[in-house]
Structure formats: structure tokens, C-alpha cells
Amino acid sequence: MSTKKAVCSVAPLALRIVAECPVSKARACDLRLPHCTVNTPVFMPVGTQGTMKGITVDQLEDLGCQICLGNTYHLGMRPGPELIEKVNGLHGFMNWKRNLLTDSGGFQMVSLVELSEVSEEGVRFRSPYDGKEILLTPEQSIAIQNSLGSDIMMQLDDVVSSTVTGPRVEEAMKRSIRWLDRCIAANKNPDRQNLFAIIQGGLNAELRKACLDEMTKRDVPGFAIGGLSGGEEKDDFWKMVTLSTDHLPREKPRYLMGVGYAVDLVVCVALGCDMFDCVFPTRTARFGSALVPWGSLQIKQKQFAKDFQPIDPDCQCATCRRHSRTYLHALFKTDTAAMHHITIHNIAYQLTLMRSVRQSIIEQRFPEFVRQFMRRMFPLREQYPAWAVEALASVNITLD
């Protein structure tokens, strides 16, 4: 008998709810995954081609990151799943010992490749590398993710922009359910790779509810809320998030895709989400924007030329311990190392924020944490975004 098949008899995911906020829907959980336990709420940094832009896996480990994202679309093309399988999957390829989540590859195609066409079979597109026509089916997406060996795999879904309305939204939602079943059937490693379903339905409450009803009948290890953060009104956004968490099972993780602004993270934790990802903190770092509890600093601006403080005097990251704003300002003009230093800081900021959120939930003071967070981010009450005030009020957190 092959030993490879016989190793794992326990389920590859277990969620333990550590604390729940008595006021809002916020919760702190321990999510046991094959490579380590993840403390939620959690922000998952996004890597591309197995390397975090501007940061190494050692640094990511030092920052306490327990799970990050690998990009299926890029990895499926280059170096290709066969090669990655040979080096013990994406973990071996990156030399990353903690958890990895891979996307289905579908969203990247729809958003990056102009010529993509969706049919019942899958997503057809032209390779940006060699121009060849490729069909990505739910089965192939899972086959690639099985080769990559990620701890969490995402189903292939039929993605429509959140601003699209009309019959296309319903078609995409229903197709995503059918594709979920094909993905479940295609998973060769259910004993060590967790497949998450993605709730669709655009900004239409009835369609979202129908998708939730249908998908939660499947015994998948976790659920993602998809099809949001695509330029829709914030009012529509939070209402779809809270509708989703109202109907998702309490004992399974809830992953809100594509959300990474600090205010959005705090509000969506209050609405009951556990996991988040976004390219924003790393992308904005490359433009010289450093995230701080009171907003952001544009390091390239003249005012930092003679500012000898670190980015954030309270931040414990390697960048803030060693370098001043003036140094980073000067370095930015000549060296890409400046982007690297700011990337480390921005990831540290996101991870620290989520750890503080978690601690406040455990200590049963989350509503007060939210009030303090908002006061620091927006010195004037008038600056509070109306949608955030309304969303928080919907879960009984009133701002002063």
C-alpha cells in the first residue's frame, strides 16, 4: 500500500471558536490547517509566482504570517504544475512551511486577459505568454491546485463584475453552483486539501440568498464571499456581506475575498467574517504609501525629507526599528529597496491590526476597540464614512 495515501485520517480543517463578541457578529477562532493553526480574524498577504513581491518567506515568517496566497493563474502557466509537483508542491517551491491558499485561476483570467469567454464547460482564454488558446475547466483548476498542494483551494466560479446587473448575474450564480459540484468531485486530496465554495449573486439579495441556500447544502470545509470589492457602492457591499454571514454555518470559516483597507477589515470582522486577502497593502507600498493607524504616509512627499521618526513610532517591524522616514524618502529616489522596506511595514501593519482585533474580541472589548480605531483613523466625527457607521450600527456598535 502506498504510504502517501495512508497518512491522513483526520479532517484537514477544524475550526474552534475561541470567543464571540456579545454585541456584534465578530468572533475569534483557531483554524487548524495542515501546516499550522491560523488565528482569526486573519489577513492573508498575496504572493505572485511563489514569491511575495518585495518580501522573502523568511521575513513573512518573522512577521508571524500563518497563511498566505499563491497565485494559481501565474503558477499554472510558469513554471507549470508538473514542475511544481516535482518539488513537493508550492510549499517546496517557495520553501514556505506554513499554510497556503490558492485561487482557482478564473478571476485572474477574467480580469487580466481581454479575450476570455465563459461557457458551461469552463473559461476559454488566450495565453498571454504564447498566444495559445486554453480552456480552464473546474476539473483542471482543481487538478492544478492539487499539484500545487495548497492547504485551501478555491472553486472555479463564474465571475461577473459586481456592477453588472440583469440575467447574467443569475446565470453566473447558478453556474457557480454547478461548477462547485464539479470541483468537489475533481478533488483528489480531500484528506489534505480543503476546497472552499464561493458565494455569488452580485448585489441582488434574492440571488445571494438562493446561492447561500444551495451551496451550504454541500459539506465543504469553508465558504468565501465572492463577487464584491469590484467598484460597487459601499452600501451595497456591506449589506451583501452581512446577508452572507447571517446564512453561513457558524462552525465553518468565512472568507471575504479582495478586502484589505483597514476600515473595511474592522467593519467586516464586526459583520462576522474571519479571513481576508487583498493586494492593496503590498501594491500601495510600491508607490511609496506606508499604512499607519491614522491613514497613510506618502513617503515620497517633501515633508518627510527631514523627518527622523520611523514610519510609525509604535510599530515593531524591522523597517520601523531600523529606518527613519527621511532615510526611506531619500532611498525611494534611487533604490527599489525602499519599496521592500515599506512592503514589510505594510504587511506588519495589517497583521498587527488583525491581532489587536482578535485580542479585543477575546477580552470582550471589541466594540470599544472599534470606537478607538475609528477615532484614530478619522480625527473628526464628520469624516466617518456613512456606510461604516450604518454597517456597525446594524450589529449594535454605535460610534461616539
Among 29, 159, 285, 317, the residue binding Zn ion under the rule CB under 5 A is 317
Among 315, 328, 361, 391, the residue binding Zn ion under the rule CB under 5 A is 315
- Is residue 325 near Zn ion by the rule CB under 5 A? no
By beta-carbon proximity to Zn ion, the closer residue of 69 and 320 is: 320
The reply to whether 191 belongs to the active site is no
Q: Which stretch binds Zn ion (CB under 5 A): 42-50, 213-221, 266-274, 318-326?
A: 318-326
Residues numbered 328 to 347 that lie near Zn ion (CB under 5 A) are: 345
Catalytic residue, chosen from 158, 277, 312, 400, is 277
194-199: strand order across its sheet: 42-44, 275-277, 254-256, 222-225, 194-199, 152-154, 99-102, 67-70
- Is residue 136 near Zn ion by the rule CB under 5 A? no
65, 41, 14: which is closest to 252 by C-alpha?
14
Kindly compute the dihedral angle of the four CA atoms of residues 48, 54, 56, 60, in this order, to the nearest 10 degrees: -90
User: Annotation-wise, does 106 bind a ligand?
Assistant: yes
Size of the site for Zn ion (CB under 5 A): 5
User: Annotation-wise, does 211 bind a ligand?
Assistant: no
Peptide bond into 41 cis (omega under 30): yes
H or E stretch covering 28:
strand 27-32
User: Annotation-wise, does 320 bind a ligand?
Assistant: yes
By beta-carbon proximity to Zn ion, the closer residue of 92 and 293 is: 293
The reply to whether 103 belongs to the active site is yes
123-126: strand order across its sheet: 116-118, 123-126, 133-136
User: Annotation-wise, does 122 bind a ligand?
Assistant: no
3-state secondary structure 71-128: CHHHHHHCCCHHHHHHCCHHHHHHCCCCEEEECCCHHHHHHHCCCEEECCCCEEEECC
CA distance linking residue 281 with residue 53, whole number of Å? 11
Q: Which stretch binds Zn ion (CB under 5 A): 49-57, 105-113, 172-180, 313-321?
A: 313-321
Please say whether the beta carbons of 155 and 179 come within 8 A: yes
By beta-carbon proximity to Zn ion, the closer residue of 262 and 315 is: 315
By beta-carbon proximity to Zn ion, the closer residue of 256 and 311 is: 311
- Is residue 207 near Zn ion by the rule CB under 5 A? no
- Is residue 320 near Zn ion by the rule CB under 5 A? yes
User: Annotation-wise, does 345 bind a ligand?
Assistant: yes
Residues numbered 357 to 396 that lie near Zn ion (CB under 5 A) are: none
- Residues annotated in the binding site for Zn(2+), as ranges? 315, 317, 320, 345
Q: Which residues make up the interface to Zn ion (CB under 5 A)? A: 315, 317, 319-320, 345
* Catalytic (active-site) positions: 103, 277
